[in-house]
Amino acid sequence: MKTKTKTKMKTKKRTTPRLDRYTEVLIRAALVEDLGPGDITTDAVVPRGTQGSASIVAKQPLIVCGLSVAGRVFASVDRRLCFTPLAKDGARVRKGAVIAKVEGGLRGILSGERVALNFLQKLSGVATLTSEFVKKAGKRGPRILDTRKTTPCMRILEKYAVKTGGGENHRLGLFDAVLIKDNHITAAGGVGKALDAVKKRYRGKVSVEVETKSLQEVREALHAGADLIMLDNMGVAKIKKAMALIGERALVEVSGGITLENVGEVSRSGVDFISVGGLTHSAPAVDISLKVTRCTPGKSK
């Protein structure tokens, strides 16, 4: 087989909803889930018309992500609330940093607090973990990718958080890139047959990635002309053997079993991409809180 220069992967044009419109749907659903017919505690305790301000505080070092989402949560609860970001998404902040303030009706601030923080804590957690993987991989190392192992209905936001943390997005869904996995290979009757079927269907319009679990499958993928070969759950020794087989004939992605402890070693094997499902499915939420800093009494209850 002739050697081919590694090239950028081609993907189908994405037709997903715009991030802002999709986020509005998520916010509405989250508020319905939390508020239901109303915040019965706040309505009982806080007099109508009470004004106030609150600070959103990072309780640990973190990468900020999701401030615009948090702001839109408060606006959805009470459009008169004034939300002021004091950091930018992607900023690394220290413990104790005030990353945003919100002012206006105290009822609205308290009713929107948990939903806003839930988005902030989750997305900042994904961004923070991603940044750790990117750092371990090194400036000249492979690109760190996410996967489709995301929270249902949160994929667009979680993938945004991965990019905020310095990572890159793998395919968004089943519609924008071809990835032949083990069950496709079984259904087709082999790596070569699966690749032939894809090439016949799309005739070079998209790049083709193939998941491989053994060196023999790597050989088959090379012979069939795969553009990108995924080395799935292979140890470093086997990854190096696969790299020797592949050379410059295809791009290489490593996936499965990647941790902060071994990502550096895997990076030094010379692969092009490392995909980590844990960026989204296992990123711990970071600690962020909201503290009321001013309260001006309103009318009596």
114 assigned to active site: yes
211 assigned to active site: yes
Residues 60, 285 contacting (CB under 8 angstroms): no
Single out the catalytic residue among 10, 114, 199, 219. Answer: 114
Q: 62 by DSSP, 3-state: which?
A: strand
DSSP codes of every residue in 75-115:
HHH-TT-EEEESS-TT-EE-TT-EEEEEEEEHHHHHHHHHH
Single out the catalytic residue among 163, 181, 219, 238. Answer: 181
Residues 137, 267 contacting (CB under 8 angstroms): yes
| CA 145 – CA 255 distance, rounded (Å) | 9
Residue from 46, 37, 63, 75 nearest 131 by CA: 63
203 assigned to active site: no
Single out the catalytic residue among 149, 193, 238, 268. Answer: 149
Q: 285 by DSSP, 3-state: which?
A: coil
Single out the catalytic residue among 39, 146, 211, 253. Answer: 211
Q: Which amino acid is at 169?
A: N
232 assigned to active site: yes
Strand residue runs (E) in the chain: 51-58, 62-63, 82-85, 92-93, 98-105, 143-145, 178-180, 208-212, 228-232, 251-255, 273-275, 288-296
Single out the catalytic residue among 89, 220, 227, 232. Answer: 232
Q: 46 by DSSP, 3-state: which?
A: coil
168 assigned to active site: no
Which residues carry out catalysis?
114, 149, 181, 211, 232
